[in-house]
Amino acid sequence: MQVEPEKLAIIHYPHPALRRECRPIQTIDESVVAVAQRMLELMHESGGVGLAAPQVALDWRLFVANPTGESKDDRIFINPRLSEPSTETEPHEEGCLSIPSVTGQIMRPRAITVTAQDELGQAFTLRSDELAARIWQHETDHLDGVLILDRMNRMDKMANRRALQELEAAFKM
């Protein structure tokens, strides 16, 4: 698929691309790197800490993340896999750039390991029990077509009902 990175933009719920399971990236070439760089730009412009390919309407197993906001901490995750979740879980408020004005307490494992490839095709493995762990889990959910709405408790769903209805009413394909 031919992609023009400069035309990529963050899509909003209920866009169907947010519900698709993504396919692995077979070849890491300059177009993949250009898309990842554009995603980092969009993430920073929007004040986010992570952005997954489905959020720019691509069905690629790719996300970008930066838990600190410092450009030196920008990281690209190609074909990520999560493993070794801690048995200890904790709730934390999460939002999503594709679901503006909606937040909820999301329960996730406190620590997780991610294995992925970088923009040079080099494999790496990281483990965290801090914000990065939550970001990796949130963004990997996107790659599987899972949204924070699917992980919210009933009270959070009720509290966000009006915002979701407004997003649904505003949606145009």
Q: Distance (Å, rounded) from C-alpha 152 to C-alpha 64?
A: 23
CATH code, domain with 137? 3.90.45.10
List the domain range (segments joined by +) for residue 88: 5-170
Question: What is the per-residue pLDDT for 2?
Answer: 80
Q: Output the CA angle 40-123-87, nearest 5 degrees.
A: 85
Question: What is the per-residue pLDDT for 1?
Answer: 58
Q: Is 130 a catalytic residue?
A: no
Question: What is the per-residue pLDDT for 151?
Answer: 97
Q: How many residues does the chain have?
A: 173
pLDDT tens across 26-64, in order? 999 999 999 999 999 999 999 999 999 999 999 999 999
Predicted model pTM: 0.96
* Full strand arrangement of the beta sheet holding 112-117: 50-52, 62-65, 75-83, 112-117, 123-128
Q: Which of 30, 88, 139, 166 is catalytic?
A: 139
Structural domain tally of the chain?
Answer: 1
Q: What are the CA-CA distances from residue 109 to residues 23, 41, 87, 106, 139 (Å)?
A: 25, 29, 7, 10, 14
pLDDT digits (tens), the chain, 173 positions: 589 999 999 999 999 999 999 999 999 999 999 999 999 999 999 999 999 999 999 999 999 999 999 999 999 999 999 999 999 999 999 999 999 999 999 999 999 999 999 999 999 999 999 999 999 999 999 999 999 999 999 999 999 999 999 999 999 87
Question: What is the per-residue pLDDT for 172?
Answer: 81
DSSP state of 121: S
Would you say 167 and 138 are in contact if contact means Cβ atoms under 8 Å apart? no
Mean pLDDT of the chain: 97
